[in-house]
Structures are given as structure tokens and as C-alpha cells.
Amino acid sequence: MMKHYIAYFSPAGTTRKIAERMQQALKDHQIKAVMADLSVHGSPLASVLNDATGPFVLWLGSPVYCDHALPPVMAQIAALPNGLKGFSVPYVSWGGVCSGLALQEMGHALAAKGLAPLAAAKIIAEHSSTWDAAKPWEAGRPNEQDLTLVDTLVGQVVQCLQSDNPQTFDLAELNYLSKAQQADVALKSLAKAKTAMGTPKTDESLCVQCGECVQACPTGAMSLTPMPEVEADLCIVCRQCVRVCPEQAFPHNGEEAAKRIAGMAAASDEDKASAIFY
């Protein structure tokens, strides 16, 4: 039986939630899947696939940051050997603003490694910058309706794999943004956002050096020296350090973030809905 790997990078936990639903849906089809957390707390993608023999399916998930797939995810794809013989299903979680080019970037990068695309998905999730707002943006997402769509995706992939010659997915279908939206996306990047926002800074009068921020950082960007210090090149501004701090030693205003996100969502003409492609 073909082996399935479900890998994800999930700072806020929503991409992981989608991965867990995929695992359960595959289990319902009597298919066992290997789960892999790609943060520094898990394993690199290349090592996860070390035991892959024969054709396999890689389900790979990333949150959308600044309309793109996360750089650590793209770097892990780039680190894979060339000439793999298998299939891929890229999927993203996005905060209801713009899913951008993330699926295209992941799909083409995976295909270049020899992992032909079978399907793809963009699933709306609560925006990770607004957790402390009175009403977080896209609160409660992904909801059961979103996750039922994941079940449908898994069913389609399983059905496709029953063929002796599985029909691969045309990545051109991921070119779904309007020209105006594509032009806006082209101006954005995580690097530019970091320059504008800066990386998290600690209020040393509040910090007790408990190390919770270090443990929460998915990229290993945070260290205690003795106060929390961020390595800017590694930081993805996921603000998990801010979120878990028991002393609220990292200043953050969720209401301002929610207003900013609302304005960005209003300016985006993308349909604000989860969707699957196959």
C-alpha cells in the first residue's frame, strides 16, 4: 500500500488541526499516515521522508504569511533530494485576508522535486495576530464545515490513487487570484513585513526569564541571554512568544491588529472561503 506522510508547520496550531483531520480521514479509509511537525520541535522534512521507499504521498501544510508560504517550509522543500517518485497535496491555512501565492509556490516546488500534485486546499483559520482581540478575525475557524471539506479532499485523493495511473492535478488551477490581487501580492513579503513591524521586544521590567517564549518559538529564533533575545533572520513574527508569555512582557494590541487585518481583508477581492482543488 502506498505510504502517506502528513507534514505541517503550524505556529498557532490551526494548520496542525487540518493535518489531524486529514490523518483521521485517511484512517477512515483504512490508510495509516505518518504525522510530522516541521518546526524545530519536530523533524526536518528530508529526515521524515528518509524511510520512503516506492511511490508515496506527501501532504504538506503551511500557514499563509504576507500572502506567501512560510520561508521555513519552502526551505525544507528545497532541501529535499531531486528525482523523488511520489505525489503531493499542498495545503494552507489562511486568515481570511488573502491566500496569495502560497499554494502555487508549494505546488511548483514539490513538483520540481518529483512529487506530482494530486490536489490542493486553502482552509480559512483564525488570524494568528488577533487572538487577544475582543473578536478575533475568523474566530473559530477552521470550523466543522471547513474540516468537512478536508474530508472531501481526502476522499478524492484516495479515489484518484485507486487508478493504475493516478490523474495529477494541473497547477495552473491555483492561479485563481485577480490581476489586481496578484499585483498587490507581488509587493508583499515576510522580510518587508519584519522591516515594517520589527521583531518582538521584551519589556524587561515585566519579564521574569521563565523561558516560556523560548519553548514556544517554532523556528528557534528566541533565546535567553539572560533576557529574551530574537535572532531576526530566524524570526517569522508568528508572535507565539507574545501569546504564551505569562507576564505579558511583550507589548501587543489585538484590537489594533484586528482593525488592520479588517482593512486588509476589505482591500482583498479574493473570495473569503475555504476551497479545495483537484
Residue 277's H or E segment, with its range, is: strand 275-277
Largest CA distance in the chain: 64
The pLDDT score that the predictor gives to residue 53 is 82
Residue 157's H or E segment, with its range, is: helix 144-161
Residues 6+ apart with CB under 8 A from 209: 224, 226, 227, 228
The pLDDT score that the predictor gives to residue 51 is 85
Nearest to 239 by CA among 136, 143, 122: 136
Phi, psi angle pair for 171, to nearest 5°: -65, -15
Nearest to 24 by CA among 212, 153, 197, 191: 153
The pLDDT score that the predictor gives to residue 1 is 78
Q: What is the pLDDT along the chain (278 residues), one digit of tens a residue?
A: 799 999 999 999 999 999 999 999 999 999 999 999 999 999 999 999 998 888 999 999 999 999 999 999 999 999 999 999 999 999 999 999 999 999 999 999 999 999 999 999 999 999 999 999 999 999 999 999 999 999 999 999 999 999 999 999 999 999 999 999 999 999 999 999 999 989 999 999 999 999 999 999 999 999 999 999 999 999 999 999 999 999 999 999 989 999 999 999 999 999 999 999 99
Residue type, 230: V
Q: At 175, is the secondary structure helix, strand, or coil?
A: coil
Question: Distance between CA atoms of 77 and 93, rounded to whole angstroms?
Answer: 18
Q: CB burial class (10 A; 0-12, 13-18, 19+) of residue 257?
A: buried
228 prior amide bond cis, ω within 30: no
Instruction: Please give the distance of CA 84 from its chain centroid, rounded to a whole number.
Output: 22
Nearest to 181 by CA among 67, 66, 101, 269: 269
| Number of DSSP helices (H) and strands (E) in the chain, helices first | 10, 10
Q: Given the DSSP bridges, would you call strands 86-94 and 120-124 parallel, antiparallel or unpaired?
A: parallel
Question: Distance between CA atoms of 253 and 156, rounded to whole angstroms?
Answer: 42
What's the grid cell of residue 234? 530566524
Contact 68, 104 (CB under 8 A): no
Contact 253, 239 (CB under 8 A): no
DSSP string covering 180-200? HHHHHHHT--HHHHHHHH---
The pLDDT score that the predictor gives to residue 197 is 86
